Structure 1
């Protein structure tokens, strides 16, 4: 998937060196309790809906935008599930540390479908029949599904996910 003009300008200056970005992730459930996932076009792996925030954008606006852009599903945010930092190295060697704000959400409209070039497939999955997810996605999913938990944050000194 092509990087935004903002990211391209930063990469032109720093090459593959570490950059920090604010990101969002959505744990979206429908009325049947199924989870919305997409198969990423860059890695072919199944993942939660996520993306970079745009400059000047609030995290809540970014998560609503990302879900609709990638899946054509409209959401309502139920709660902040947490904020964590995690490292990503892309196939081209770009290194990033993402500061991810993740939200528990529910679908309120739209039909899930591939809606942009970032997804190969989009679908709803029963929680007991999920495709393979990477450790980061599994960890924030488990945090967000705990109805009684307060918003998560790494304790001082805990380090990066």
Structure 2
């Protein structure tokens, strides 16, 4: 697709998993493309449901098997990748719990993975903070119609 549109803005479907272990710690990964800590996430493949995509990304990127407990939110958000590609993701994120697997970075999309207590998190971008705080709150979050598009203006103060 990029060979046709170059670095122009494209709309893509995405899914994110906010995975907790039995001790209430959250699963994070250090991304391979920019080195930042993030929740497991990725694109929804054609014919795939967002819930399946979220669970697939968790397993691929972290080695953890998870199950979905609830939808935590939905919103669009812009991304500019280090190579200049621009995307707008329609992202659905889910509150999940770990049910198995072995914690391991894949060495490509994830350089490091770990469980983090909510009071000892590495830096997360504002979208990661929004997704985590809504998953912790137990409320489903969405951008109100006609509302502000900046998550810091609308995210709950759960963390």
Match of 2:117 in 1: 126
Match of 1:88 in 2: 79
Match of 1:152 in 2: 141
Structure 1 residue 115 displacement after superposition? 2.6
Q: How many pairs were matched up?
A: 150
The RMSD of aligned alpha carbons is: 1.0
The separation in 2 between residues aligned to 1:16 and 1:152, in whole angstroms, is 30
Give the 5 Å matches for 1:1-161.
10-147=1-138, 149=139, 151-161=140-150
Contact kept, 8 Å, 1:84 with 1:160, in 2: the verdict is no
1:117-156 per-residue CA deviation (whole Å, 9 max, x = no partner) reads 1011000011100001111100111111102x2x211111
The separation in 2 between residues aligned to 1:141 and 1:73, in whole angstroms, is 18
1:20-77 per-residue CA deviation (whole Å, 9 max, x = no partner) reads 0000011000001111000001111000000011111100110110000111100010
The separation in 2 between residues aligned to 1:159 and 1:85, in whole angstroms, is 12
Structure 1 regions of 5+ residues with no counterpart?
1-9
The separation in 1 between residues aligned to 2:115 and 2:2, in whole angstroms, is 35
Contact kept, 8 Å, 1:73 with 1:109, in 2: the verdict is yes
The normalised TM-score by structure 1 is: 0.90
Structure 2 regions of 5+ residues with no counterpart?
151-159
